[in-house]
Structure 1
Amino acid sequence: MLICGDLRTFSEIVRSLGGALLGLAAVALVGCATATNTQEASVDSPRHPPLSVTFSLSDPQLLRDCLGYSERHAVNHCTLNMLDLSYYWKSLNDSHQFQKVLYNSDNSDYQLAITTAYYSEEGVRDIAMSYLSGLTFTLYPLTTHHEVEATLSLMWRDKVLKRYHYRLPFDRKVRLYYR
């Protein structure tokens, strides 16, 4: 049996819980009705310090591999740093992530030293395809397969912070006309 004092306490508890539940429901409804304004983050100013992009022979293993590849056979060729450095510079500059991207400069604390090796092999198939392409005045396309290997070294004051290594296939097609 409930005593009057207990009943009063029980009703106060129910009232306070009801008020709390009502308040919680009101907050939930207001939260659902409120529109959230989200804004996409944008880069207003470059996040990284100036960077100098340069070719180097900073990877001795890549240099040895390239020389060894060329010496294996007369039809194997490897050329170091054949790719144009301006493409790397332009890509980094267009990213707007750096305060300034310098081209082969010593006036920057951070450098990106790039070493590339361009591997090509002239096999029997390549020679036959060259002959066929020449006979048809390049109407029949000449397709050659190459591999490009690159080592990129991110350095701070000539100390290597991180080194990246990539090996990518590269197919080149030569023809008189393109569709």
Structure 2
Amino acid sequence: MRTLLLFIGCWLLAACSTTNEIVLANYATDLEQKYPPVSLFLKQPSEELNKDCAAYDKLPLMRECKVNPIPLQQLVDEAQASGLFEETYYTNSNADYQLSITTTYYLGGKVSELGNAILSGLTLMTLPMKKQILIKTDSLLTWRGIPIAHLQQEIPYTSRTSLTSSSDDPYRNPAKSVISHILNELQGQQSFSEEVLVSKLNSTNYRQDLHLPDELVDFIFDSQTQFRHPFWGTQLRYVHNQFAFDYVDIFIYPVRDWRWDNTTEQLAAESQRVRKDIEFYADRDHFNQLQFNNERTLNLGSGSQARPVAAFDGILTNSAGERLLTHTYLFIKEDKFVKLRATFNITDNDTTPALDGVVAQLINEGVVPKESLFMSELRNKWRADAR
């Protein structure tokens, strides 16, 4: 009798310690910069998937098909736990990047599993019942509704259940597995890179098609950033060849209007927007005072390259009473604004002539990409809507 009780106790312990078997895919976590915010959604199954599920349910030996059994919140939690994203949202329609996921459980029905099920019933469910599950995923990553990546995957999963082994969170491991496979493939396709977005949108590839001099008067090229949103364009920084703390930033981005050839009107409107941006950042950085000087209209560049340039300065005063002189230049080349921003400590030396020369060199020697297909189509829509 004692031997029988010991045997039953060991059997119960084995049942309680049973674990599920999941397959995790590897993905890189040591990113130089996190991916932009992403919002997750459950994607409704296609008509084809519904038919496939219905046909699978009719097969013998405990076959069953379940569509979207994994709760969306579980998928969101696992995406957040990956640490790859700046933010991870639950059905936030305002997020630029959106990931819609369909998961489908195909529960297998092998004779051995059926035998386990019967035996579990005969032994008060102490023997774990092993379920072989194939998880199929259908995922779509979009940027503002434009498809970026479409993934379809099949992931094996083994579930073990019994009366004495229960899980308070039966979908956590499947969710972890699904998210790991999706992230693995998205990384393999570099789906969150600026280059992929440029390719999918047919927007401007500034790294490839923008050509500016390596040196602009006394400033030497240092770095370039291409922003993900096509409206934001690119930013280049040039550092002074003697004074490392002095630099100029050059921003190049499309005119966000279908009338981009109306230089005077567009420069005036953009100049006001730039002033508001400077005011915002001055307030954010706790400057006590910002005073703009009157705007100047210059004509810089040589020969056929010459064009009007809007220029204005401002004086920033911080809490210690220190004053900084901030310069802004703005002109249009091709269908894009070219904006130069620079801020220096106020000294006896006037920095304006040097920056005038920088802008003139930019106009004469800089090659700005032509209008992209993305902006052309968008402007055609704006033009039609304005009629």
Q: Which amino acid aligns with 1:126?
A: E
Match for 1:167 among 134, 154, 162?
A: 154
Asked if structure 2 preserves the Cα contact closer than 8 Å seen for 1:52 and 1:110, the reply is yes
Larger of the two Rg values belongs to structure: 1
The TM-score with structure 1 as length reference comes to 0.64
Match for 1:156 among 143, 148, 153?
A: 143
1:101 aligns with 2:88: yes
Q: Given the superposition, is the C-alpha separation of residues 73 and 137 from structure 1 closer, same or farther in structure 2, using an over 3 Å criterion?
A: closer
Match of 2:73 in 1: 86
Gaps of 5+ in 2: 1-29, 167-387
Asked if structure 1 preserves the Cα contact closer than 8 Å seen for 2:61 and 2:110, the reply is no
Shift of 1:96: 2.9
Q: Deviations over 1:29-66 (max 9, x none)?
A: xxxxxxxxxxxxx658x532221101012655434422
In structure 1, distance between residues paired with 2:53 and 2:77: 27
In structure 2, distance between residues paired with 1:162 and 1:58: 17
Q: What SS does the aligned partner of 1:57 have?
A: coil
Match of 1:127 in 2: 114
Shift of 1:73: 4.9
Q: Deviations over 1:10-45 (max 9, x none)?
A: xxxxxxxxxxxxxxxxxxxxxxxxxxxxxxxx658x
Match for 1:141 among 113, 116, 128?
A: 128
Q: Given the superposition, is the C-alpha separation of residues 58 and 76 from structure 1 closer, same or farther in structure 2, using an over 3 Å criterion?
A: closer
Q: State the aligned residue count.
A: 136
In structure 2, distance between residues paired with 1:127 and 1:142: 9
1:50 aligns with 2:37: yes
Q: What SS does the aligned partner of 1:150 have?
A: strand
In structure 2, distance between residues paired with 1:57 and 1:65: 14
Gaps of 5+ in 1: 1-41
Shift of 1:75: 3.8
Q: Given the superposition, is the C-alpha separation of residues 115 and 125 from structure 1 closer, same or farther in structure 2, using an over 3 Å criterion?
A: same
In structure 2, distance between residues paired with 1:147 and 1:77: 11
The structure whose RCO (Cα within 8 Å, separation 6+) is larger is: 1
Shift of 1:131: 1.6
In structure 1, distance between residues paired with 2:144 and 2:55: 32
Q: Which amino acid aligns with 2:141?
A: L
Shift of 1:130: 1.3
Q: What SS does the aligned partner of 2:35 have?
A: coil
Q: Which amino acid aligns with 1:85?
A: L
In structure 2, distance between residues paired with 1:59 and 1:105: 22
Q: Given the superposition, is the C-alpha separation of residues 75 and 143 from structure 1 closer, same or farther in structure 2, using an over 3 Å criterion?
A: closer
Match of 1:6 in 2: none
